[in-house]
Chain A
Amino acid sequence: MRWGMVINLAKCMRCHACVAACRIEHFLPMDVTWVKLIAYEVDEGGAVDVSTYPVRCNQCADAPCVHVCPTEATHQREDGVVVVDANKCIGCRYCVIACPYQNRTFVSKDKDPGYFPGYERTEFEKKGKKLYPHTRGTTEKCNFCVERIDAGMELGLQPGIDRDATPACVNTCQARALTFGDLDDPDSNVSRLIRDRKGFQLRAEYGTDPSVYYIDYKLGGAPSNKAPREAQTGSHMQHLSSVDRDAYRRIYGHDKEETEVKP
């Protein structure tokens, strides 16, 4: 079993709901963000196009951060998820340097000033600290919501299918751009998407074998499969589920009935 995620770049509309869901789920300190949306515009001779790339820890199968960690605080679980044990972390920040995806964050005092800097922490924050201490002097990153996965599986739920066993960002994505599942299962939703839609990994040339795949858009902005601008705008998000056949084909590159995967 190896948990993985597929991100549909054409569907993502930069609403930042995944970022917010992650922050709420883990009570993230103010200046710590596990999920990031990279948006940049491509200007091709006057025709400006906006591209959005949701990025998070890639849970690499051959993770550099695991290799460099001197205390084994960063380790890989049997299900492929790379987690950090804050009790073992010494804060050497070697993992921050070594991560080719720059998805590691060192929790320093300035990154955790409280939600209302200068004031006492709220009850909400205090309770959050008990659940997720976010220990200063250690490094952090996305952990695919392992606590949800573990708790859900104990109840016999299936991550990626049942919401209570699925990462918060996947649950909250209203455009259904995120899909979660078992990469080792050839019949899983993620495996089918990767296979059918030519899923690719970010910076595969590093040889780290990330567990996060992208579909329906080519990094680097190849004009041939660039999503139309309307697919990238927030105002369009309400229409994604109700677009007509032609618009759907234009945005997603295929017919609605063919390969849509219902989460």
Chain B
Amino acid sequence: MKAQTRRQWITTHEWMVKPMRQKEWISGKGMLVWLAEVFSALGMGTYLVGLIAGVSEISTWAWWATVLGWALIVLFKLPLHFLYLGRKRNFWRAIPPFTNAWKTSWFARGMFFSIVFTASGFVQIVLWYLLHWVDLSASAADVVTVLAWIVGIVAGVFILLTGVYCGFAMSYCKSLPFWNTGLLPIVFVIMGVADGLALTMGVNLITGADDAAISTLEFWTRILLVVNALLIAGYLVRAYQKHSAAELAAQDLIKGSTAWVFWILLVILGIATPLVISIATAFMQGNTEPLLIVAIVCHTIGAFALKYSVLKVGIYRSVLPGVG
């Protein structure tokens, strides 16, 4: 058989004959999507950790963690998504009941999840405030506690959905094989919770360190970081096996132009450094605050790096099979 090589002819449509990166959600104004996705994960993680931590007994730091998580979603994620839209004044059309698209569109579902969370999360924060800081009569406290449980469950479910829908929205795209896997939402959620644990540690430090709580948070951080490292490794292995475009994306991530983000910002700073610190502090005596602060900063850098690198290496399959 003759050796066959193919050369591209018209460069204006090279994205159709060669695997090309998606740009809509990462370049130029697309950076807003990246940032919104990061705040989605951070907000979800922080709110969930605060919510779970305050279930048995509402503490000051747990309350502040829920406030921070809620604020990251409402004040950062949603406005950034809004700013990205091409026709902002039409945004209400994506919200049920003005659309029935929620049946198939993860974007419409995400809008719904975010709005329900915004409302229920706010009510939960108010109820926890009443329970923690206001002297209520016994009967009023009972009513508020029941309400806080109900609203807390609703808010917890919807913040989880708010965090996970971004992953599903991306993994739905068959055009981008690197994203087109069910592992993506899991990686995003676990990394989000791990980063949320870190931010919650930061809240804990600011509101007056609770050593027992910090060591519990660090314990879970260790577990989630290890799980996520394994998941990311599995994700890359799967990309190599899945499709040539996914393999190309994985190669770009590992040794291409995005490699510095992946290795330095995500693997070394975002995963390895916090993991080493959390293990080291478990055996250390005395003041570990500086190390914790380093770990929190590294975690947050990792959160930005994960979403950036995944969005950046979203590589389309070529339109013409067998070409490029």
Contacts and interface: CB of A to CB of B under 8 A. Distances in A.
Interface of A: 36-45, 50, 53, 55, 64, 66-73, 87-94, 96-102, 106-108, 135-139, 202-203, 206, 219-221
B76 interface: no
Interface string B76-114: 000000001111101101100011110011111001000
B173 interface: yes
B94 A45 contact: no
B175 A36 contact: no
B172 A44 contact: no
Contacts, number: 158
B107 A94 contact: yes
B86 A106 contact: yes
Given A97-B25, A98-B173, A102-B319, A69 B105 contact: yes
Contact of B320 (A97, A108, A220): A220
Contact of A92 (B15, B17, B85): B85
Nearest to B109: A70
B322 A96 contact: no
B15 A206 contact: no
A69 B86 contact: no
Interface residues of B, number: 49
B25 to A, nearest CB: 6
Contacts of B88: 90
A68 B107 contact: yes
B20 to A, nearest CB: 8
Interface in B32-90: 84-88, 90
Given A43-B7, A97-B24, 5 more contacts: A38-B319, A45-B2, A50-B9, A100-B319, A106-B24
B317 A100 contact: yes
Given A90-B87, A137-B87, A40 B9 contact: yes
A39 B85 contact: no
Given A40-B10, A43-B7, A70-B105, A202 B86 contact: no
A113 to B, nearest CB: 16
A112 B85 CA distance: 18
Contacts of A97: 22, 24-25, 173, 175-176, 314
Nearest to A100: B175
A221 B6 contact: yes
Minimum-distance CB pairs A-B, first 7: A91-B86, A137-B86, A220-B322, A70-B108, A100-B175, A70-B94, A70-B107
B158 interface: no
A90 B175 contact: no
B184 to A, nearest CB: 14
A220 B86 contact: no
User: For the complex, would chain B's binding face be called helix, strand, loop or mixed by DSSP majority?
Assistant: loop
Given A68-B104, A90-B93, A100 B87 contact: no
Contacts of A138: 86-87
User: For the complex, would chain A's binding face be called helix, strand, loop or mixed by DSSP majority?
Assistant: loop
Nearest to A72: B101
Contact of B90 (A90, A93, A100, A219): A90
A42 B320 contact: no
Contacts of A66: 104
A42 B6 contact: yes
B24 A98 contact: no
B100 A72 contact: yes
A44 B3 CA distance: 6
B13 A36 contact: yes
Interface string B294-324: 0000000000000000000010110111110
Contacts of A137: 85-87
Nearest to B16: A38
A40 B15 CA distance: 12
B4 A44 contact: yes
B147 interface: no
A89 B235 CA distance: 34
A169 B175 CA distance: 27
11 contacts: A36-B13, A38-B319, A43-B6, A67-B105, A70-B99, A70-B101, A87-B90, A90-B87, A91-B87, A97-B22, A101-B175
Contacts of A44: 2-4
B99 A71 contact: yes
B174 interface: yes
Contacts of B176: 97
A203 B316 CA distance: 13
B3 A45 contact: yes
A110 B320 CA distance: 28
B321 A96 contact: no
A29 B58 CA distance: 59
A71 B90 contact: yes
B137 interface: no
Contacts of A40: 6-10, 17, 320, 323
Given A38-B13, A41-B7, A102-B175, A67 B104 contact: yes
Contacts of A100: 174-175, 317, 319
A203 B317 CA distance: 10
B3 to A, nearest CB: 6
A219 B321 contact: yes
Given A64-B174, A68-B105, A71-B93, A42 B319 contact: no
